[in-house]
Each structure stands twice: as structure tokens, then as C-alpha cells.
A and B are shown apart, each in its own frame.
Chain A
Amino acid sequence: MLEKILNWLTLRPLRMRILRRKFLKCLESEIAEEFLEMLLRFMSLAFLLDRDFRRNIEDFNGRYLFRSRDNSITVAVVFKDNRMKVYEKNLEDTNVTVTFRNGKALMGYLLSPKPDILGSLLRQDVTFNGNLNYVYKFAYMAKRLQLMATGEI
């Protein structure tokens, strides 16, 4: 009950609808420069609003660093105490560091229903340093979010 009131007071459902639209627009765009930002904002809010989705981070501790190859984007994501926190800074002691060529490449890796796997490998679009199981878990959550956004789940 308290959660519902809090959600209503902070306009989370409305923000979720707006973010969902932006996220879907981003998925359809050719450049998808803002993909990571959109994904993380949408994911953050989804964890707050959707109890089922939140189960994914219950008792989960994970430290991720997402970095564009040209170093123009550096985003740290920390899952702790059933919360997701995002920082625009470097992070030490990560479980995994994900380096990507650009937003489109990262999106293609995480979400594309027909990923250009060969092309992605050839171009080294996305590379990882660290525990791959953390990547798999994050990719699962991102995919789930996409399916929620498109109404497929």
C-alpha cells in the first residue's frame, strides 16, 4: 500500500510511460546514441515499479562498468541491497567491464532479435573483461525489459 502511495506521489507510473515511449523510440532509431542511458533509466524505474521484475535483483550484488571505446561514456551500475544505482564515473573492483563501440553496437548485442553476431565479432563491437555470467544476467534483464516495453510479456 505504502509503495503504491509512494509511486503515485512521485509520478512514477507517468514517468514509466514516458520512458517506455522514449526507450522504444531509441530502439527504433538508427544511431541509438542514448541507448545505454535510456536502458538504465528505464530499468531503474522498472525495478521500483514492477515487483516481479524487481525479483531479479533481490539479494543480488553486482558491479558493472559500461564504457564506450572512445571513453566518451563511462557509466557504473551497482546492484546492492535490492536496489540499482547508476553513477557517471569510473568504478573499481567491478564484476565485469563492458566496452562497446557505440550505443547501437551495445543495443545490438543486448537486444536485437536477429543480432549480427558475425559482424559484431568481426568488428569487436562489444568486449568484456570479467565474469561473463554477470553479462548474461544483465542481458537477460535488458531483454525482459524490452519484451515488457513492447508488450510481448
Chain B
Amino acid sequence: MSKVTLKDIRLREYTLENLGLLGRLRKDLMRTRPEVCIERARHTTRYLRDLSSDDEPMETRYAKAVAYFLSKKAPLFFDDNLLAGTTTSKPFGAPVYQELTGMTIWPELDTISTRGKNPLILSREDAEELNFEIFPYWMERNILEYTRKKHNNPGCMRLFERIVFFLASKAGTISHTVPDYRKVLAKGIEGIIEEAAAREEDVRRKGADTPDNRHSIEFYQAVQIVMKGVLEYAANLSRRAEELAAAETDPARRENLLRMSETCARVPAKPARTFREALNSLWICQVAVHAENINMAMSPGRLDQVLYDYYRRDIDSGTLTVGEAIELVGCLWLKLNDNTNLVPETSEELFGGAGTVPAVTVGGVDENGEDAVNDLTYIMLRVTELLKLRDPSVNARYHYEKNTEEYRDRVAEVIVNTKAVPAFHNDVVDIKVLENQGTSTEHARDYAVIGCVELASAGRSYDASSSIIFNLVSALELAMYNGKRPATGDEQIGPQTGDPAGFSTFEEFWEAFKTQLKWLIGEAIKLNEYFGRAHQEMLPTPLLSAFFEGPMEKGRDLIRGGALYNSSGATHIGFADTVDSLSAIEKAVFMDRKCTFAELLTALRDDFRGHEKLHAYLVYKTPKYGTDDPIAVKNSRNLIRFLYDFYQGHTNYRGGRYRPGYWTMTNHAGQGKLSGALPNGRKAHKVFASGITPASQAAGDLSACLKAVGGLDGLCIPSGEALNLKYPHVNGNGDIKTFAQAVESYFRYGGLHVQFNIMSYEELIDAKKNPEKYPELLVRVSGYSAYFKDLNEAMKDEIITRTAYDLGTGRAVPFPEEYRSMLAYE
């Protein structure tokens, strides 16, 4: 039976004008400049350095450090938001995770406030505290240096530090996952503490004489310790709100502060009873998770499902109106924007512009496989449509056999109205993908999106989906240059697979390429395993673990394999450029004999200068991924299959398999800038295509493009894919219908994910030239949203040059002649 009771699923009567609070809060957020917040670094360092001993087991010691911070964390109320709790001590803060990558900003302490790209305000006093008090303690103790020392600066780490081969995200994160907030809403933190205490007692009765039991006892103790820290923070919020209410003269504000005080006195300690309590409980837990773990893609999950019962109960009892629910959900959306990442200027230049990407998932089917769309789904879509914010990254699941067309078309309409969000996910294939990874059908149906596009059975699966970011082009170049790369000069990096000039068939080159891939991926996996073990020793996660199914039952921290399901994700950069280059080599060198391999390499080294005829041939006459050319289809499918088989053959330190995915955030722009010319005609230092998207301007027909991408075996893409499409405009209901039907067709071909930018080449070019005219222009990058103005120049160019399709004809819109120099092959 449908759970949709709204008369108007568009909720058109609710606007930012008549929801004054949301309008005001949004305006404040947009004009607030980000600041570095050292509160967490200060308190965790003080505890670990001055108040604890190296002899203590790390599980309880770290729990005490996080609890200490939570108890000292300032209870702040910056604005009139209806939810209490802040991620940092600043209205818009970038917390310092000094044990991860926080120390990379050390050289910039005097200049970060004034740097060119995405400056962050840092006070003189805070900079001095970081320089003199905090960073020195961590010089040998952050995850990178701990690992380096332990493994004697291994080769895989030195490869990672060259940047151009792969990135190992674990140096900077325990993140990219979906906690289970249902549990805390249902039983409260006190219930979790009681459970941990009872389980600790059980293990004690069995005896603490085995290492496993000892660890279990420490884990249960750690959960109790850290959860008490969460309770202290909530109690401090309650007290402070009461104090502020007493001094407040504005009646509405006073009322709100009193309600927050009451709410925080109740939750998250106890089970939530109302929609408002559930939202605030969830938000305080999200804040607490970031007290322990970095703010990268820590995703709240299926909020329309998690919060639905509370919503329904309040609506039915008449204690909540739809308008109030919209306001509360809007407050949560705004709260999820109260923090940003702390990254050095180099990262901003190469990869900048990302938010913290807490993904929210709506729609799809429930655990029984039935339509899960409810009133709250539409409320969340309306809030997304009204606020047009970078975060949360909203993802709409669509099951074409179970969800209604009405829902599908409404999601499409919100995309058109925001020009970018939400992203569409294919329930039919996504569920099969997870089942194929060993997830039970019920759990697979209850999947949520992590960060960009990755899939997780919410609160049951710890996937660390961004563990490896692998540059496929680097392996291709190693094969082309016999184990060397132009970007790293004459140094022998990979195995010597032979001078391809001596190869007589494409298959020989394909074998060389696979050899380089296997070697390089092997190095990336080796480093990820080192980092994973270091995390186990240094940075346990008892707080996050308590919000998962598995760790409490097993008595084992998440980072030690406590979750019900485990995996590590590896995403790939340069997929389309690699496939097109393979196809170009096959066609140009081995089939058409247009050039020898040696001649091709000479042309690449010259960046095609003096080789214009060959360049034109490579660009216009060789097979392109995203078309129905059989060579392109074969090479794309072979590569996907090979990577899947290779990764799945590796088991991680938590006992889960490695999962390949194809989403690139902004890495395809940065890595493209660091790479030489390629056989597909892409010139040196131009951006790569994003995610699993065909190279810009390579796939001229929308239908063929959707068939080609959808035709890739989704089961071989268990860590998700990002297909980026662009329409210059979608006009009226007829176009929206066509738009939504195209998505459904793509899903029926087998595609997992698609996201859109509804904007023309001209509009984007103008936004690049005149950023002041487009301060809030939201775009989809490759799995997440960003404000266009915050992106680096390369990333802006990539979004501008992405193929735009005319929805009516399905043909690519010609790129403006006067800007052709922006294209990757020009």
C-alpha cells in the first residue's frame, strides 16, 4: 500500500518566502566564510599528550580522548536553526584532523587566510597553538609517518607520494561509510551503553585470558567511555540553550531555545519520541561521529526511511504539520553544511572544490522489495529543490518495476529546477550488485549511497569505498613506455614489459598493459593494507562502531572487521581516455597500419605538433567509448572485467574483498593536468573524462552513449559509477517526461547511476568568465555537487566541455567554435 498521502507531491505551497527561517539561514550560510577550527585538535592532543599513557590499550585510550573532547566541546548556538549541535566551534568550520592529513597545512599557517584558492580564516592565536603546541606532538604520530616508519618507507608509499600513479586515501581518513542511526533513535545512547556493559560482562564471565576476549572487553569499555562523551556534549547543549533562553528577549527565539534545551535533555540519551527529537538525535550523533572520524563522506543514509515512523506518528497525532516537517528537514540540510574540509593549497589547485559529501538517500524499495517512497521522500525532495545546497549530496533511488512514474518524474523535475541534484540510482541493478558481493537480499534492498555513488547496506557494511584512487592512464603509459612514464622521467617505475614497437599484435600490448595494471594495483593494495593495519593499531573507532550492526555483536571494532559486511573500494581515473587509447592503438597501429607504435610515441612526445594528420585520424577515425563501435565496446568491457576479477581476488585487512568503481570526484582534472598526450588524441595536460562518462565530445548520440555505458556489466562495478550528462535546457512538463524516460531507458540497459547538469556551454563559459554573476551556481562534478566558482580552472573546463545533448533530437549540441581550444583534443 502506498505511503504517499500528500495531495501535492510537489509541495508547491511551501516556498522560501513563506518558510522565512530557511530562507534566512540559507542566506547566512552563503555569506559565511569558512574558518579553521582547532578545537578538536586542541583537546584530543591535550588528552593524549598530557592526560594519558602510551601503555594504555589504544581502544580505550582513544575513546577517552574523543570523550574528553566531546565533554569540552563548546555548546554553541550561532543562529536560529531548530536543531542543536555544531560540528565545529565556528559557524562554518574546517576541523583539523592532525592524526590524518591535518598537518599538511603547517606551511600555510601564516597564509591560509589569504591564499588564492578557497581561503580559510585562521586566527593568529590558533595558528600559534597549532605550530607550537599541537603539530609538534604529532610529527612521528600521524598515520602516514607511523606507517612509513613501521615499514621503512616502502616503495608503495614512495609511489603514492609521486601523486601521478594512485592516491591512498587511508592516509587521510576513516570515512566513506553509512552509520546506522536507526539504532540510536530506537534505544538511545543509554541503551547502547547498557548493551556494551552487558556484553562486556558476558565476555568477562567467559574469561579475559585470550587476546580476542581481551580485545572485546576493551572494545566494549571503549564504547561505554566514548558514548558517555556524547551524553556530556548533549547535556552541555541543553544547559547552554536554557541559559540563552533565560537571557533572550525575543519570544520566538526563547521558545526555540527552550525546545532545544528540552530536546537535548532527552536525546540522544534516550529513544526519540518525536520527529524533532529524532532529527536532533541524529544530528548530534553525526557531530559525534566527526569528533572521532574525519568529515569526508560520512553519510547519514536513507533518511526518508530512518525518520519516517517519527514523522508519520507526529502527523497522525496532529503535533506536526507538513510545513513544520519541511522546516525541520531544511534545518538538518543546513546543519550538514556547517563544516568543510581542511586541505592545503596544492590540493585545492589540483582537486579543490569538494564539500564534505554527506550523502542522503531517498526512495527506492524497502527490505521486502516494495515501493518505499513516502511523504517524507517528497518533503526531502522539496527541501533539496528549495535550498539548492552543495551538501547533503542527495541521491534518489529508482526501481523501475516498483516505484511510480510520478516519483520518477518528480525526481527529474527537482534536477531540472536545481540544475544538478539529486543523482539517480538504479535500484534493480544496484541490489543485484550487492547481492553478488554476498549481501543478503533484504540487506541489499536497504542500501544507501556513500559519499559520491558507492553502495552500502546502510549501517551493516563498512566499505571504506575511497581507499584507492587509481589512475588508469598511468598503467597505460607504463605499458607504452616499457615501465616508465613521461611524468616521472627516465626512472624505471613498473616492470619492463617490452618496447611496444616490437609488438606484432594488439593482444601483446593488452598483455603488457595488464601486467602493468596488476603490478601497480598490487602496490596500491599493499599500501592500503599497511594503512589499514596502522589504523587498527592507532585509530580505533569505537564510536562509529557502536552505530553499526556487527561490532557490538562480535565485540570487535569496525576497523578490525566488526561490521556485518566488509570491503575496500578502489575507484578509477581516466577510464574513457584509457579505453579510447587502447582502441586507437588497436585500430591505428595494428589494424589500419596508419602508423607504427614508434611513430605514435613520437607524436605523443611532440604533443602532436608536426603530426596533425595522424592527430586528426586518431581523434575522428578511431573507435570511441560511448558509441556502438564494436572495438570500443570490446575494450571497455574487457577492462571492466579484468579490473573486477583482479580486485576481487584480493582480501583486505578486515576480511572483505576489494571492489572497483568508476567515479573521480575532481581527480580526473588534476591527474589530466599531470599527464602527457594520449593515443586517443587527447593533448598533454588536458583533463581526463570524468567517472565512467565517455570523453567529452566523443559520443555524439545520446541513445548510443546510454547503451554503451549501460551495457557494461554492473556486477563488475560494485563500488559504483558516475555517469555525467548535460542538457542545455529542459523546458516544461513534456521535456521533463522525456528526460525521465531517458533515465529509465538507461537503467533498463543496465546503468547504475546518472547525474546531470542542466546548463548550456554558453552559460558555463559565462560563469567561468564572470564568477560574480553566478555565486551559487551548483554543478555536479563526478559524484558530488560543488559551487562552480570554487572549482579549479581545469575542473571548470572539464564541466564546460562535457558533451551537451539536445533532449529533443538526442544529438550532441555543437561546441562553440570560438572556445574549441578548451577541448581535450585541441
Which A residues fall within an 8 A CB radius of B?
A: 55-56, 59-60, 110, 113-115, 117-118, 121-122, 124, 128-134, 136-137, 139-140, 143-144, 147, 153
Contact = CB atoms under 8 A, between A and B. Distances in A.
A133 B107 contact: no
Contacts of B345: 115, 117
Nearest to A116: B349
B321 interface: no
Contacts of A113: 111
A114 B108 CA distance: 12
Contact of A153 (B110, B148, B489, B674): B110
A97 B487 CA distance: 21
B488 A133 contact: no
A56 B107 CA distance: 13
A81 to B, nearest CB: 16
Given A118-B350, A133-B103, A153-B110, A128 B116 contact: no
10 contacts: A56-B131, A115-B345, A118-B685, A131-B140, A132-B161, A133-B139, A133-B140, A136-B103, A137-B106, A140-B106
Nearest to B347: A117
B139 A143 contact: no
Contact of A121 (B106, B116, B164, B489): B164
B107 A136 contact: yes
Contacts of B109: 140
Nearest to B140: A131
A133 B106 CA distance: 8
A59 B137 CA distance: 11
Interface in B676-734: 685
A130 B685 CA distance: 29
B107 A139 contact: yes
A133 B132 contact: no
Given A55-B132, A124-B488, A133-B142, A114 B107 contact: no
Interface in B120-171: 131-132, 135-136, 138-140, 142, 144-145, 148-149, 153, 158, 161, 163-164
B2 interface: no
Contacts of B111: 113, 143, 147
B814 to A, nearest CB: 30
Q: Nearest 8 pairs between A and B by C-beta?
A: A139-B107, A136-B106, A133-B139, A117-B346, A117-B349, A140-B106, A140-B107, A131-B145
A134 B149 CA distance: 14
Given A117-B349, A147-B110, 15 more contacts: A56-B132, A110-B107, A114-B116, A117-B345, A121-B487, A122-B685, A128-B161, A130-B153, A131-B145, A133-B106, A136-B103, A140-B109, A140-B110, A140-B131, A144-B110
Interface in B343-390: 345-346, 349-350
Interface residues of B, number: 36
A34 B456 CA distance: 56
B349 A118 contact: yes
Given A121-B163, A122-B487, A124-B488, A133 B110 contact: no
Nearest to A95: B139
A108 to B, nearest CB: 12
A132 B107 CA distance: 11
B116 A139 contact: no
B673 interface: yes
Nearest to A109: B107
A131 B139 contact: yes
B104 interface: yes
B792 to A, nearest CB: 10
B350 A133 contact: no
A72 to B, nearest CB: 19
A115 B674 CA distance: 15
A113 B119 CA distance: 13
A146 to B, nearest CB: 9
A26 B673 CA distance: 30
B489 A124 contact: yes
Nearest to A146: B110
A56 B488 CA distance: 35
Contacts of A144: 110
Interface string B332-345: 00000000000001
A144 B142 CA distance: 24
B110 A129 contact: no
A140 to B, nearest CB: 5
Nearest to A137: B106
A55 B345 CA distance: 26
A136 B107 CA distance: 5
B795 to A, nearest CB: 13
A68 to B, nearest CB: 16
A147 B111 CA distance: 10
B144 A132 contact: yes
A131 B148 contact: yes
A129 to B, nearest CB: 7
Given A122-B487, A133-B145, A140-B107, A117 B350 contact: yes
Contacts of B139: 131, 133-134, 137
B317 to A, nearest CB: 57
Contact of B136 (A60, A132, A147, A153): A60
A6 to B, nearest CB: 25
B346 A143 contact: no
A118 B144 contact: no
Nearest to B114: A113
B131 to A, nearest CB: 7
Nearest to B670: A118
A137 B135 contact: yes
B321 to A, nearest CB: 52
Given A118-B673, A128-B161, A130-B153, A139 B106 contact: yes
Contacts of A153: 110
A52 B153 CA distance: 34
A136 B346 CA distance: 13
A115 to B, nearest CB: 8
A55 B133 CA distance: 11
Residue in A56, A118, A134, A144 with the greatest tally of chain B CB atoms within 10 Å:
A118
A32 to B, nearest CB: 18
Q: Which of A129, A133, A134, A143 has the most CB of B within 10 A?
A: A133
B283 to A, nearest CB: 34
Interface string B87-110: 000000000000000011011111
